[in-house]
Amino acid sequence: MRPQVVAHRGASHENAEHTLGAYIKALEQGAEALECDVRLTADGHLVCVHDRDLRRIASRKAAVSTMELADLSELDFAAWKNPWADLDDEAPDRDPDRDGVLTLRRLLETVAGYDRRVELAIETKHPTRYAGLVERKLVEMLTEFGWHEAGAPVRVMSFSYVALQRVRRLAPALRVVMLVEHARHWPVLRPLVDDDWIVGPGIVTLRKHPAFARRLADSGREIHVWTVNTEGDLRTCLDLGVEAVITDRPRFVLDLLDGGG
C-alpha cells in the first residue's frame, strides 16, 4: 500500500503557507490529508501559523500569542511569497479571504464540507506562553466536530511529549504523532512512547542515519515522514514502508506515486 500524501501547510511550494488558498490548492491537487501548525491568539483563537512571530510571513515583529484575531485579520499573510506581484500583470488578483490569517475552525469547516474524505494532521507548537491551553482548546474544537473519537479524520502531532500526553488524557482515542527531529532523541523517547503512537521523523534525519531509519522501520511502528519534496526522498520513504509523507508539493508526489513511484 502506498503512503498517504499530506500537504505540508497546504500546497506551500506554490502558495503562501497556511493560507486558505494554499489548502484549497492542495485539495484541488488531490492531497489526501492536510498538515497545519496551530498557535493560540491573545483572545483565545487557534490560528494556523508556524512561526512564533510574524516577521517572516507578515513583516511584523509581534508574537502571534500577543495579538488578537481581529488584529491578525488585518494583515496580508501571502504577499511575502510573491513580493513582486503588484508589478506582475499576469499575477492573480489578491483575494483577502484566501490570503489572510486562517483560523483552525475555518480549516476544519473546509475539510468537513469537502466532497471526499480528507484527513488533518494538526501540530501544536511549543514552547508557548499558553502551555496546555492549546491542547485543551484543540480537543474542545475537535469535539464540536465529532472528531475526538476513534475513526476521526484527525491526528495531533508535536515535538513535545508532554503535549501529546495532554491530548491523550483529554481524548484517549485520538491518534497522536511523536515528531522526532534528531536520531539521538529517539533512545530517550522510545521507552516513553506507547506502542500505538505514530512516529514522525524528518527526512533529513532518515537520510543522515540510515541505520536509525531501518531500525525504526523494523520496529513495527507506524511512520509519518516530513518534509518529502524530491523523488529521492520519496524513494527513501517507499523503501522504508512509511505510511504517510508530508510534502510541500502534493501534486508532484502524487504524480510520482501514480506513475509507479
Residues carrying an active site annotation: 8, 50
Give the SS3 label for residue 171: coil
Q: First and final CA of the chain: distance in angstroms?
A: 12
Question: Taking the CA of residue 123 as centre, how many other CA atoms within 13 Å lie in the half-sphere pointing to its CB?
Answer: 24
C-alpha–C-alpha distance, residues 140 and 49, integer Å: 19
Count the Cβ atoms, other than its own, within 10 Å of residue 196: 10
The contacts found for 80-83 with CB under 8 angstroms, 24 or more apart, are 80/16, 80/56, 81/15, 81/16, 81/17
∠ Cα 67 71 72 (to 5°): 80
How many angstroms separate the CA atoms of 195 and 191, rounded? 10
Q: Are strands 175-180 and 198-201 parallel, antiparallel or unpaired?
A: parallel
